[in-house]
Amino acid sequence: MKVAFFSFGACEGCRYRIVNEIDKVLALEGIEIVREPLLGLSSDGEFDVAVVEGAVTQPDVGKLREIRGRAKHLIALGSCAVLGGITTLGYRLGLRLEEYEAKGYTDAHPLHKVVKVDAHVRGCPASVDELVAVLRLLSLGLAAARYERRFEYERVVGDLTIKDDFLRLDAGKCIVCGRCSEICAYIGAHVLTPAYRGFRVVVTTPAQLPFLEAGCVRCGLCAAYCPVAAITYRGDVEPALKVAREGGTAIVESYAVEVAAEALGVAPGQVISLLRELGFSDVAIVDPLKLAHEFEGPLVPFSSAEERWVRKLVPGAVKGHVRIVGDSDTVLVTACAARKEDHPLVLTAHELVEVAKGARITLSDLPNQAYAHEAVGDVEVLVGPEACRSAVEKLKSGGLQSSGKPVVLQLCPGGCRRGSGAPYRLLTQ
C-alpha cells in the first residue's frame, strides 16, 4: 500500500513528529512511503493513501480535491486538519489583514468540510502510534472510522438539558471536572451535584429540578468557572451590539472598566474608547458602591444573587439590592453576571473582552479617554462567602455592630473584581 504525505495550512509539526518516529511506520508490512518531502521523497506518482496535514484555505481547495480524487483513502492528520481555523487566527484577531486578504487566507476549514475523510488522527502534534494503527487497518482492508475517538465511551444522558432565562446546563458538553459543583458548594448554594455512577456520571441539579427550585441564587459563578461552556449564562452580545450600531447608550460599572482593561492589557480610558468605537454614542460610568446609601438596614446585597443568598439564611433580613436603572434600549456593562436578572441587555466584562478580540480593532491605537475613579470611603465591603456568612450570622444573633457605614456584601470569591461576569482568564488567578 503506497502512502503519500501532504501539507496545507499548518506548522508541519505533525509530519516532523512522524519523521522522527518513521521506524514505526516502516515496520508495517506492505507499507511504502512514496511521498514525504521531509524525507526527500517528492514524487507525484500513484498512491493509495493520502495523509494530509493542515487546514485548507480557499487557494488550496482545488489541490485537496485533486488529492482526494487520486487516493483510495484520505487521512486527516492533526488538529489543524481535523478542526480547521487555527492557521487564520491572526486574521480573526485583526492582525496583518491586508496580507491575509491578498493571499486568500481569510478562513481555514477542516478537511471534511471540503472532501470526504476516511479517518482522523487527532492531536497537536498527532499521535504516531494512532496513525500506525489506522494504516494497519487500511492495509488489511478494514475500516478505520472507529479511530475517530481515542477512547470508546457510552453517552448515557447526553441530551440532558436544564435551562431557564438565566442559566443553561448542557450535560452533553460536560466533562465532569467538578469545578461548577465545587464553586456552588463553596458559596453554600449546593445546587449542582454529580449524579449516577462510573462512566454514567453527570453533573445536574437534585432530581434534575429547575435551577431556582433547586435553590440557585443565580450568581453565575458556575458558568464562569466551567472550562467547556457546558454551563452558560444568557448571552446578550448580538442585541447589545445592535443597540451600539444604532448609537445607543452604555451604562458601565467602574468594576467592568477596570477588569476589562486588565484583561486586554490597555488603560481604562481605552476601554471607554472601545465602547465608542463599537458604536455607543454615550458611555456613562457608574460606581455601584455609591448607590449603597439608598438602602435601609445594616447589610446591602451587591446584586440579586447576594439578596437571594441572604434570604436563604435569614428570611426578611434584607430588602432589595444595589440596582442600576436604565432604559430598555440601554446596555449595561458589568463584571457581575447576576445583573442580567435586573436588565434586559447586559454585556458582561467577559463578553466585552471577547467582542474586542474579534472586532479587528487595534486596541493600542485607541485614545486614552479621561477616567477618574475614586474609591468610595464611606462604605464597608465584605468580600467572599466566608466574610458574608459571618456578617449574616452576626445579624441573625443580634451581634452585628453598626459602624454607621453601609456594609455591602459581595459573594464572589475575590469580590466583584473577580465576579461571575469578569473575563475568565482573570478568574484562573
Residue type at 174 in one-letter notation: C
Q: Are 80 and 87 in contact (CB under 8 A)?
A: yes
Give Cα separations from 218 to 211, 255, 308 (angstroms). 8, 19, 8
Q: How much is the pLDDT for 366?
A: 92
The pLDDT tens digits along the chain (429 residues) read: 999 999 998 888 999 999 999 999 999 888 999 999 999 998 788 899 999 999 998 889 999 999 999 999 999 998 888 888 677 766 666 667 777 778 777 778 889 889 999 998 888 888 898 999 999 999 888 877 544 444 444 555 556 899 999 999 998 888 888 899 999 999 999 999 888 877 678 899 998 999 999 999 999 999 999 988 999 999 999 999 999 999 999 999 999 999 999 999 999 999 999 999 999 999 999 998 888 888 777 899 999 999 999 999 888 888 889 988 877 789 999 999 999 999 999 999 999 999 998 888 888 899 998 887 766 668 889 999 999 999 998 888 887 766 678 899 999 998 988 999 999 888 875
What single-letter DSSP state applies at residue 56?
B
Comma-separated ranges of CATH 3.40.50.700 domains in the chain: 2-148
Cα–Cα distance, 237 to 214 (Å, whole number): 28
What single-letter DSSP state applies at residue 413?
T
Which H or E run contains 283?
A: strand 282-286
DSSP 368-382: ------PPPSS-EEE
Residue type at 343 in one-letter notation: H
Q: Choose among 105, 91, 223: nearest CA to 162.
A: 223
Give Cα separations from 349 to 39, 315, 415, 425 (angstroms). 50, 32, 14, 11
- Homologous superfamily of 2-148 in CATH? NADH:ubiquinone oxidoreductase-like, 20kDa subunit (3.40.50.700)
Q: β-strands 73-77, 161-163: how paired?
A: unpaired
Check whether domain 161-233 has CATH 3.30.70.20, yes or no:
yes
Q: How much is the pLDDT for 340?
A: 94
Q: Choose among 267, 427, 203, 403: nearest CA to 337.
A: 427
Contacts of 172 (CB under 8 A, 6+ apart): 155, 158, 159, 160, 161, 230
Comma-separated ranges of CATH 3.30.70.20 domains in the chain: 161-233
In our burial notation (b when 16+ CB lie closer than 10 A, e otherwise), range 53-77 reads bbbbbeebbeebeebbeebebbbbb
Q: How much is the pLDDT for 92?
A: 65
pTM for this entry: 0.65
In our burial notation (b when 16+ CB lie closer than 10 A, e otherwise), range 219-256 reads bbbbbbbbeeebbbbbebeeebbebbeeebbbbbbbbb
What single-letter DSSP state applies at residue 189?
-
Q: How much is the pLDDT for 155?
A: 52
DSSP 345-356: SEEEHHHHHHHH
Check whether domain 237-427 has CATH 1.10.357, yes or no:
no
Cα–Cα distance, 202 to 178 (Å, whole number): 10
State in Å, rounded, how far the first CA of the chain is from the last one.
Answer: 52
